[in-house]
Structure 1
Amino acid sequence: MVVLDKLRASWYDKKHHLALGDTIQNYTLIKQIGEGRYGKVYLGINDTTKVIIKQLKREAFLRSPEKIKFELETLKTIADLKDPRFPVYLGRFKLEYVRGFIFDFKEGDSIEYLLCHKKVRYHKPEIREFALQILDMLEVLHSKNIVHKDIRIPNLILHKGKLSLIDFGLARFIDNKRYKTELDFWYLGDFIIHLLYYVYDTAPKSLVDKPWYKQLDLTAQELYFLKRLMRVERKTHPKYETVAQIRNDLLSGEIF
């Protein structure tokens, strides 16, 4: 515990941080664009080429090296796909006090930014289209034995109507024990519910403390679909086994 406290304290030491204006492999850091559990994310530029530079927290690479190893292996597997919807791993860097990864830059805005800052609202037909795009990406990842485990609004980038999926820090190789495809299906359901709430009218007082499936205005088919994704009322709502099953239901014309 003492060691962990020291590691956390060291995170506030400036020498363990990158700073705007620093140069990493000829890329100058011009903007911090995010911070997560395992590090900070910066926008870097070299002439006209933009990249993403992810600085790992000292605690992450000293206390959880196996997680960093998993992320690196996953990134290399994804890079081999040469699929523009996923991050392209460009390499890693190791300085005296700082380590991290370099990725290509994805044009567009995160769904989180669009919802929270630009106040964009998505209705059922658009949500359905997003879900279908996410399923297409999951089909590719699952075929490579990868489960993403973090399909959230900050990690989905929208550009000209097309989604990209970023941040594979929690991704793992599927073992059908702890890491299963149904984890990604749960996150898909959570993503859909999240977007539905942004166009949701305030509930009557009698529903304020009720769960989402009591509050949201959903048809019986939509409710059944989301409960299957979210593993709610499992005895009467069997889980989805494959991406194809989910896609077929979305294309049935009865959902969203």
Structure 2
Amino acid sequence: MLRYFSEKKYNHLVKDYVTAKTIYNFIEEIGVGAYGVAYLLEDMNTHKKYVLKRLKTKHRHKKKIRQKFDQEISILNEIELPNVPKLVSKGEISGIPFYIMDYIEGKTFEQSIFQDGQIFSLKQSMQITKELLQILIEFHKKGIVHRDLRIPNILLKDNTLHIIDFGLAAYMKPELQLDKINNPKRAENHISDLYYIGHFLLFLLYSTYTPTKKKERSWQEELLLPQEVIEYIERLLIIRPAFSSAADALQSLPLREHIENTNIY
């Protein structure tokens, strides 16, 4: 009978399951992705919030997608870092796998930039990049690459960076060679995460940018950045020779003294 359930109808099954068989109150649906649906829950005793993420019903018979969903659960369970939601439990509802994890109550950088209009100075942007690379190094030490470090998946809570959504995460393949990578976003090694960080950093830097000319120019021309910073971002984006690791990228960050002395804010 499950094959006749639409996503909307299955939402009711999830709500009924949470209400009848868990310690949580069902609050609302909070997100829909290509492969999954997420709901906000609240512990009836502690009032702490959690997220239940389940596979979309249309993917229930797709072996590779189910395996990827199981891998997402395994990766979350293995990371065990304070900057990542903690896995609480897992199970199935009418044949559809799900898991429950901590809810991180913070603002994504997408919300901060495009909803709140927050701007980030060059100095702030480089500091955030430094903190992000430090987290990334811990991921890579565990053999895990996130592969989706975009502004909706990085957030601030109590001035601390948190990373969410491990739906595209993978186990690293250290033997993967740069010249064999066709799409850096999907590379199963450090190249993917550093490539995304390059774009993430550009979003931060563009938060201070006001167009002065109608004709669109390259970011190197539009953003008045020190040459060292331009070259650094070009290495993240593989325009110049790529960094050998996240640790290499962290060590190569433009010197703080140079950033502090620049008048670009």
Name the residue aligned to 1:244. 247
Q: Which amino acid aligns with 2:160?
A: K
Q: 1:119 and 1:23, CA in 2 relative to 1: closer, same or farther beyond 3 A? A: farther
Structure 1, gaps ≥5 residues long: 1-6
Q: 1:122 and 1:22, CA in 2 relative to 1: closer, same or farther beyond 3 A? A: farther
- Correspondence for 2:207 among 198, 220, 227: 198
- Correspondence for 2:117 among 98, 114, 119: 119
Distance 2:141 2:125 in 1: 24
C-alpha distance after superposition, 1:173-222 (max 9, x if no partner): 0013341111100011010011222221114133x1x3323332222111
Q: Provide the TM-score with structure 1 as the length reference.
A: 0.84
Q: Does 1:62 align with 2:61?
A: yes
Distance 1:13 1:179 in 2: 31
Distance 2:206 2:5 in 1: 36
Name the residue aligned to 1:101. 99
Deviation at residue 130 of structure 1 after TM alignment: 1.2
Moved more, 189-198 or 134-143: 189-198
Partner SS, residue 152 of structure 2: helix
Distance 1:179 1:18 in 2: 37
Name the residue aligned to 2:73. 72
Q: 1:58 and 1:19, CA in 2 relative to 1: closer, same or farther beyond 3 A? A: closer
Deviation at residue 245 of structure 1 after TM alignment: 2.1
C-alpha distance after superposition, 1:56-86 (max 9, x if no partner): 21233432122112212212211xx3x2111
Distance 1:121 1:23 in 2: 43
- Correspondence for 2:138 among 130, 140, 151: 140
Name the residue aligned to 1:37. 34
Name the residue aligned to 1:4. none
Equivalent pairs, count = 239
Contact 2:7/2:56 (<8 A) preserved: no
- Correspondence for 2:223 among 208, 216, 227: 216
Deviation at residue 103 of structure 1 after TM alignment: 0.2
Contact 2:123/2:259 (<8 A) preserved: no
Partner SS, residue 41 of structure 2: strand
Structure 2, gaps ≥5 residues long: 177-186, 261-265
Deviation at residue 239 of structure 1 after TM alignment: 0.6
Name the residue aligned to 1:28. 25
**Identity of paired residues, percent?**
27
Partner SS, residue 69 of structure 2: helix
Name the residue aligned to 1:187. 196
Q: Which amino acid aligns with 2:218?
A: P
Q: Which amino acid aligns with 1:192?
A: L
Q: Which amino acid aligns with 2:42?
A: I
Moved more, 45-54 or 59-68: 59-68
Partner SS, residue 116 of structure 2: coil
Q: Provide the TM-score with structure 2 as the length reference.
A: 0.82
C-alpha distance after superposition, 1:124-175 (max 9, x if no partner): 1211121111111111000000000011111112012111111111000001
Distance 1:34 1:119 in 2: 23
Deviation at residue 11 of structure 1 after TM alignment: 7.2
Contact 2:229/2:254 (<8 A) preserved: no
Q: Does 1:160 align with 2:158?
A: yes
Q: 1:118 and 1:125, CA in 2 relative to 1: closer, same or farther beyond 3 A? A: same
Q: 1:49 and 1:23, CA in 2 relative to 1: closer, same or farther beyond 3 A? A: farther
Q: 1:13 and 1:193, CA in 2 relative to 1: closer, same or farther beyond 3 A? A: closer
